[in-house]
Structure 1
Amino acid sequence: MTADNAALVAWTARVAQATRKLLPKGGDLAWLLRQSMHTHFQRLAVLPVFGLSRGPVRVLDVGAGTGALCLDLAWMCGPEARITAVDNDAHGLSLLRDLAAALHLAVDARLADAYALPVESASQDLTLSRFLFQHLERPEAALAEMVRATAPGGRVAVMEVDDGAWFSYPDEPPALERLNGAVRQLQASVGAGRQVGRRLYRMFRAAGLADVQVLAVPRVRLGLTYGRDSELETHQKEFYLNQRDRLIGAGLMTAAEFDEAMRALDASFAADDFGFACEFVAIGRVP
């Protein structure tokens, strides 16, 4: 299912307007709301691979956060669709509900754990997650729950990052490499980590899914999104700043090393450096 370009542009503008109004309520999730705006077209480009159509489809978004993905699905599938969003963060779900109301969309937002989804077995046509597995200690168990929730013939999909698919020109300065390495270590200490994308194929095969495909979704930073963009620069810096105290507290880097890395990031922005990243989308069918 696709929408014409004018409809996509109008939809992204509506979402951006509603999201900006909600930012003062965002608190520690304001960065996530901003990220959802910056990556909107990237998400929309991927949605057609799920094979959804307008009508009474049943979709479960696991680890929905503030609703970046499920709101797009609710818009594309129409009012007859049954969209369920699950997350273990009550604040995020509250923001999701506010956004859904502002956009006049019906989303059933439920507070629950990815390892115990609050839906009946074989009750969904599509069960998916985006940027969740990197935070989970047991992603295979979460995938098994997603398979359980999905009806025979239905699809399971996981969208994830893999930092191993990143390169830049010129090469990143050592200070920034150290910072990114520390971020990977920190996340891997509490979950699957930021190189989980490469693991999805085997996970899906081991879970018994059929017709498994893994798509690579490129994301290029040439300067920034389309040339220099101070708003996006600020957002990218906030990603690191939000983790500063934890990185230092875990002994992964010193305050001086962190500050040096942020200066290197500013210099990379100023030099309009090229960067390439790749995300992975794994899709499988429940037999």
Structure 2
Amino acid sequence: MTAASRGAAIGGSYDPAHTTGGGLSGELARLEAQAELSFAEELHVLRGLGIDTAATVLELGAGPGAVTRRLRAALPGAELIAVDIDPELLAHAEGAADRLIVADAAALPLPDHSVDFVLLRYVLQHVARPEQVLTEVLRVLRPGGVVAVTDVDDGCWGTAHPSYPELAGVHARMAAAQAAAGGDRSIVRRLPALLASAGFDRPVLRPFATTNADHPTEAFAPHLGPQRLEPLVASGDLGLRELALAADRWKRFRTDPLAWVMLLGFTVAATAPAGRGPRKNHRTEGAPS
């Protein structure tokens, strides 16, 4: 499956070969840098949600395994299953999990009630019909199991000083392009209702913050740098002048000794209700045990 067909298959907005200006290799580097920047804070939240006591952890949308490898180090006693629809991406996660499975998150080849904890990290913002994924997650979770969805909300992404109001239109173009492709960069505000509608109990929201008091300013390039905008020029959604403006403001920011940035992330979690029997009319034959 090509990167382009991958995006079409899930009906969403993520195309790894065209997410940064560096193609697939650039995206692999971006995902690794993103995980390095914030996973410690994310793991603190996940531990508060009980991931340390899970015997089986399922990571959906694992991609090349940047987070999978960190989960393996943090949870050495758990069975770790990594799933992604893109075999080319998932091949880079070889050795990071007990099982690597190429599958659509909305049609998992796993038995009912077979995992204890499911993590979706920056996945649902790209999925056109997230309710289908959450319904499937509920099916594979054991009663009392937890789903944790870590994602973004453009309306409360964080704060930076100095700020550049002239970039507001540029960032709006990126959000609009993602929405046109079936994504939603404000998915977090919808997640509690989506989880409840899918049948989960007790949705809770847990924010986390990452600042350049703890990381070099340059480490925030995956989020604040202009490389994410370069594919929008190729697609016609952004002009070269706007890209140059973003590049200039990022250069100013990262070289300013007084610059400060705080990025906010959010994990919305919920519990699979107790007392559920296996769902009827769902194919589980041949699913791995």
| TM-score interval, smaller chain | 0.7 to 0.9
The residue type equivalent to 1:47 in the other structure is L
Superimposed CA distance per residue, residues 14-72 of structure 1 (whole angstroms, 9 cap, x where no aligned partner): xxxxxxxxxxx956422212222222322332231231346x71111110122233333
Aligned match of 2:280: none
Does residue 240 (structure 1) correspond to residue 240 (structure 2)? The answer is no
Q: Is the 8 A contact 2:58 2:118 kept in 1?
A: yes
The residue type equivalent to 2:209 in the other structure is P
Aligned match of 1:210: 201
The residue type equivalent to 1:254 in the other structure is G
Aligned match of 2:276: none
The residue type equivalent to 1:198 in the other structure is R
Q: Is the 8 A contact 2:81 2:100 kept in 1?
A: yes
The residue type equivalent to 1:76 in the other structure is A
Does residue 92 (structure 1) correspond to residue 78 (structure 2)? The answer is no
The whole-number CA distance in structure 1 between the counterparts of 2:235 and 2:164 is 23
Does residue 51 (structure 1) correspond to residue 42 (structure 2)? The answer is no
Which of 50, 60, 66 is equivalent to 2:58? Answer: 60
Aligned match of 2:108: 117
Between the two proteins, the alignment pairs up a number of residues equal to: 249
The 3 A distance-change label for structure 1 pair 127 and 233 is closer
Does residue 274 (structure 1) correspond to residue 260 (structure 2)? The answer is yes
Superimposed CA distance per residue, residues 177-228 of structure 1 (whole angstroms, 9 cap, x where no aligned partner): 2221111112122233211111111111111111221111123345xx44x4
The whole-number CA distance in structure 1 between the counterparts of 2:220 and 2:152 is 20
Does residue 36 (structure 1) correspond to residue 35 (structure 2)? The answer is yes
Per the TM alignment, residue 141 of structure 1 is displaced from its structure 2 partner at its CA by 1.0
1:28-177 pair list within 5 angstroms: 28-53=27-52, 57-79=55-77, 81-98=78-95, 100=96, 106-170=97-161, 172-177=163-168
Per the TM alignment, residue 242 of structure 1 is displaced from its structure 2 partner at its CA by 4.2
**Other structure's SS at 2:185 match:** coil
The 3 A distance-change label for structure 1 pair 50 and 67 is farther
> Higher RCO, 1 or 2 (CA under 8 Å, sep at least 6)?
2
Percent identical across equivalent pairs?
Answer: 29
Which of 248, 265, 274 is equivalent to 1:263? Answer: 248
The whole-number CA distance in structure 2 between the counterparts of 1:45 and 1:136 is 26
The whole-number CA distance in structure 2 between the counterparts of 1:87 and 1:211 is 27
The whole-number CA distance in structure 2 between the counterparts of 1:183 and 1:73 is 30
The whole-number CA distance in structure 2 between the counterparts of 1:29 and 1:72 is 15
The 3 A distance-change label for structure 1 pair 49 and 173 is same
Aligned match of 2:187: 196
The 3 A distance-change label for structure 1 pair 28 and 213 is closer
Aligned match of 1:15: none
Per the TM alignment, residue 282 of structure 1 is displaced from its structure 2 partner at its CA by 1.2
Q: Is the 8 A contact 2:226 2:243 kept in 1?
A: no
Per the TM alignment, residue 235 of structure 1 is displaced from its structure 2 partner at its CA by 4.4
The whole-number CA distance in structure 2 between the counterparts of 1:29 and 1:248 is 21
Q: Is the 8 A contact 2:162 2:259 kept in 1?
A: no
Per the TM alignment, residue 284 of structure 1 is displaced from its structure 2 partner at its CA by 1.0
**Other structure's SS at 2:195 match:** helix
Q: Is the 8 A contact 1:159 1:280 kept in 2?
A: yes
**Other structure's SS at 2:94 match:** helix
The whole-number CA distance in structure 2 between the counterparts of 1:66 and 1:50 is 25
The whole-number CA distance in structure 2 between the counterparts of 1:167 and 1:129 is 21
Tell me, which stretches of 5 or more residues in structure 1 are unaligned? Answer: 1-24, 101-105
